[in-house]
A and B are shown apart, each in its own frame.
Chain A
């Protein structure tokens, strides 16, 4: 599904360039549940944003289902993202002025669906996430866990093939975290590919692959890596 060849990302600063990602080579198959781990500042979010197509300013090649994302125009990239990817943020990023149901409907409203279709999907999703009773509440009236639940529901409402989750449980208690992870598990079992970032060893185990990132370099810690990355020549 995803193939990254020699992805590198650098930021300009006063001294010149700093690379925050280097030589990232990665293959992710349909149905994978990948966990990215690593210390803070290692470049996990940066990588996730590249995969999520929010960031196009990088070196190297990125193929998604065989299409070369790195060569796409912004519009094409946005279209592909819209079709394939759902994103879950550490800060939930629910819209405060919209109810739960309205937040869920939001991604659908940007896709060509009839009002009745949209409402059917929203009702369905509310049902599936057991939050029907909360549908008219505003985010501020929910607990953190509930908010993240809604955020995940919103991420999958348009039926993406790939879910990217950047520290989805970072702001949650462990009970709430577990609930979220169970949900991811279920989604994965339903066929959705998932890439998550987490610091929690337990949550990492939910996935079938773990990738370690340090200082912008990849280290593998799991067996099923299709293409061996070049081992760091430094350190």
Chain B
């Protein structure tokens, strides 16, 4: 009879055991696998671009200012191209969304504006046609477009003659010059159309450095060149160029440096710790499952020891025995692995529901061959290790003792028992760690959600308008349009206040608000870089940002106010701690220039959170009226405070604006609250997942505890019966088992506490306003684990107390 057949027979003989074992393993593998799919797609797999490991990105750091990290400016591209030996090419890009098609019938599409060297830099050649040329990079010459393969198939029926045809973008006609190969993706975007990243030629000089820093810059490392070389050459180049800049001194003082970093790592840097944390959680769960499985296998240890002994006495070598045990454990583990694959596939879907697609590179998350290979290999390795360990464990007793009568085996089985108890305690400890981890993440999420953004997010509707359109290039036309929009929306029934803003706080694109270098009359050499907003209409009232001092902008008579601004309380306190802010003057640019007309502060408003709920701004904010907004604007957010649920008003508002101007559609209309909820996806998903993991761990630990105590009772029925016959009370017997369970709980919790402390420390950077040791969480975890463990002990204990004394007489 071969090993396989025997193993199948053994597994089928105990279907309950087999099912629990397979399921346990499947849960562990499925959970780790689902998380691995995410980690693999986001952190491990290279970007889907040729030789992507040589792609770097360049960003500007102003370490000593509040601005932190910024993109690059127009002159940077022109200064750096061809000047850095370590790069084969440098490209710049900016994500955008454009309306493609004729007025009214247009559709909003994801677009990428790219410099002439961009495609060469990322290493993508058009399937047909040519990449943009440098002379197409001006506003006079940029009437060209490159289509994605998908868009070409979708909108042009894959027309082979498409080159030279026209496509309407934001109302302008563009000539199609190329079609991209299928599946083109850049970082987290899948642009349908590429447009030239055009600029005015006279904006390319050094005087424009450090302004409108919103171009992303990428470069390709030359073969053999290192990141350090590239950084050194970048620093050397800046040492030549930067001194030519008018405010070079201030820039240097702000801690400016152009940083060269790997593109992929940089893109996923923010999510990396969270993902690793979750992967650790998944592995912990797998560990619990593994321990559980081994424990289940140990139930039959004494039978197996004897069986292997008999086989040995019949001539089986260690190799034979190993092969046989391995067959069984491998079968079990591969069944678990297969079921785990299924669970993993479901898990990946569940992760999508949890919002994994919103993570950087999240669109790439799938359970593919790699994940499957990892799962299969991992479960095989696991099966092999367990098989080996168990065989070693089984063969540890001396053959003579095994083959002798039942009697002397007792020491061996006590060893098994101790091992199993140790494993139960270990499971409890691991479950404890996961429960605490989940508790801390949930608490952190709760505290984040409790943070007030500084405005009233409920009953607030937000939509986006893009003013990049040939009819709206003129400032006066724009201004008139803005006034009409505000007026129109204000008049809608159900809207109490409406306003426009250059960028909504907290939920702005990529979380980054605009900032600008400003100056005051006596600022004491400090670089002033507040967040800046251009607003129109009743923005403050619509948002519910309270007035602290002075007044809001005059809505009705916008023109009479002159050059005025409103600052928030942080800005006011920082710069005029003693005097009032109202009436003070603010100048554009890093130095007060006598000929320039300043802005007069007319009011102080409450502070809002800028880029992130968890981070109060240090520099505060300054609000300008849109026509005078020094940063300029091409897109605006419309905010409207509504009487009822804001979602219901959405369609009405969209229609009202379409009636007003069909060429400029209102997009992305959603309630502020759901936008804020979106920004929390990086916290909510991990917290939710951790909770799922922790509860699964708790369940597994309960199964483990119940299993071990249940077996202990079953194996000791005779002994219990004997004790009963000798006068033990049922209560005493039951208590004995309950005490055993409590002992395991105590040991497990002690180690769990230690593990939870370490985990808390490791998680610290991910937690908002939560200390690594949070007593209440520890206490709740202990109570929960204790309750579940007690329940798992109670049933076997009860069964023990019901053993009849006559069992003592039963023969084996």
Q: Does B411 contact A (CB under 8 A)?
A: no
A224 to B558, CA, bound (A): 131
Asked whether, in the complex, the Cβ of A110 is within 8 Å of the Cβ of B400, the reply is no
Q: With A45-B404, A90-B405, A105-B1 known to touch, is A95 a contact of B315 (CB < 8 Å)?
A: no
The reply to whether the CB of A6 lies closer than 8 angstroms to some CB of chain B is: no
**A residues 92-143 in Cβ contact with B at 8 Å:** 93, 95, 97-98, 102, 105-107, 109-111
- Is there an interface contact between B400 and A107, defined as CB atoms closer than 8 Å? no
Q: Contact check, A81 vs B315: say whether CB atoms are below 8 A apart.
A: yes
Q: Is the CB of A98 within 8 A of B400?
A: no
User: Chain B's nearest CB lies how many Å from the CB of A77?
Assistant: 11
Report how far A220 CA is from B181 CA in the complex, Å.
Answer: 97
Interface-central residue, B313, B398, B405, by most chain A CB under 10 Å = B313
- Contact across chains for A98 and B6 when beta carbons are under 8 A apart: yes
Given contacts A54-B400, A93-B310, A97-B13, contact A110 B405 (CB under 8 A): no
Report the bound CA distance from A97 to B307 in whole Å: 10
> Quick one: given A54-B403, A91-B405, are A107 and B315 in contact (CB under 8 Å)?
yes
Q: Is A158 an interface residue (CB 8 A)?
A: yes
The SS class assigned to the B binding surface is helix
Q: Given A98-B6, A105-B1, A106-B1: A49 and B314 within 8 A (CB)?
A: no
Q: Tell yes or no: B389 within 8 A of A by CB.
A: no
The residues of B that contact A98 with a CB separation of less than 8 Å are 1, 6
Please, which residues of chain A bring their CB within 8 A of the CB of B307? 95
Please tell me which one of the listed residues B2, B10, B306, B320 contacts residue A110 in the complex, with CB atoms under 8 A apart.
B320
Closest to A94 in B: B310
- Bound-state CA distance A109–B9 (Å) is 18
* Binary CB contact string for chain A from 146 to 170 against chain B (1 if under 8 A, 0 otherwise): 0000000010001000000000000
Question: Contact flags (1/0) for B288-323 with A, using CB distance below 8 Å?
Answer: 000000000000000000110011011111001000
CB nearest to A102 among chain B residues = B1
| A90 surroundings in chain B (CB, below 8 A) | 405
Task: Write out, one digit per residue, whether chain B residues 1-34 have a CB within 8 A of any chain A CB (1) or not (0).
Answer: 1100010011001000000000000000000000
Q: How far is the CA of A87 from the CA of B310 in the complex (A)?
A: 10
B6 touches A97 (CB 8 A): yes
A78 proximal to B (CB < 8 A)? yes
- Give the docked Cα–Cα distance between A60 and B207 (Å): 101
Residue of A nearest to B399 (CB): A54
| Interface presence of A89 (CB below 8 A) | yes
Residues from chain A with a CB closer than 8 A to the CB of B310 are 93, 95
Please encode chain A, from 47 to 84, with 1 for each CB lying within 8 Å of some chain B CB and 0 for all others. 00100101100000000000000000000001001100
Q: Could you tell me if A109 and B313 are in contact, using CB atoms closer than 8 angstroms?
A: no
Which B301-358 residues have C-beta < 8 A from chain A?
306-307, 310-311, 313-317, 320
Interface size for B (C-beta < 8 A) is: 22
B6 touches A110 (CB 8 A): no
Report how far A95 CA is from B2 CA in the complex, Å.
14
B10 CB contacts on chain A under 8 angstroms: 97
What are the residues of chain A within 8 A of B314 when measuring CB–CB? 106-107, 110, 154
Nearest residue (CB) in A for B406 is A91
Instruction: Give the residue name and chain of the A residue nearest to B321 (CB).
Output: A110
A55 touching B6, Cβ below 8 Å: no
A102 / chain B contacts, CB cutoff of 8 Å = 1
Smallest Cβ-Cβ distance to A90: which chain B residue = B405
When C-beta atoms are compared, the residue in chain B nearest to A55 turns out to be B400
CB within 8 Å of A: which of B393-409?
398-400, 403-405
For A49, the chain B residues whose CB sits under 8 A away are 400, 403
B313 and A54 contacting across the interface, CB-CB below 8 Å? yes
Contact residues in B for A82 (Cβ distance below 8 Å): 315
Q: Which residues of B contact A81 (CB under 8 A)?
A: 315
A110 to chain B, nearest CB (A): 4
A45 and B48 alpha carbons, distance in the complex (Å) = 72
- Among B9, B316, B403, contact of A97 (Cβ-Cβ < 8 Å): B9
Rounded to whole angstroms, the CA-CA distance of A46 and B306 in the bound complex is 18
Within 8 A of A (CB), among B81-110: none
- Of the candidates B1, B2, B403, which one forms a contact with A89 in the assembled complex, judged by CB atoms under 8 Å apart? B403
**For B315, what are the chain A residues with a Cβ–Cβ distance below 8 Å?**
78, 81-82, 107, 110-111, 158
Alpha-carbon gap, A105 to B315, bound state (A): 12
Residues of A within 8 A of B405 (CB): 90-91
| 9 A-B pairs closest in CB distance | A82-B315, A110-B315, A107-B314, A102-B1, A93-B310, A55-B400, A110-B316, A49-B400, A54-B399
- Beyond A97-B10, A106-B1, 7 additional pairs, beta carbon < 8 A: A54-B400, A55-B398, A55-B399, A55-B400, A78-B317, A95-B311, A110-B311
26 A-B pairs (CB sep. < 8 Å): A45-B404, A49-B400, A52-B313, A54-B399, A54-B403, A55-B398, A55-B399, A55-B400, A82-B315, A87-B313, A93-B403, A95-B307, A95-B310, A95-B311, A97-B10, A98-B6, A102-B1, A105-B1, A106-B311, A107-B314, A109-B1, A109-B2, A110-B316, A110-B317, A111-B315, A154-B314
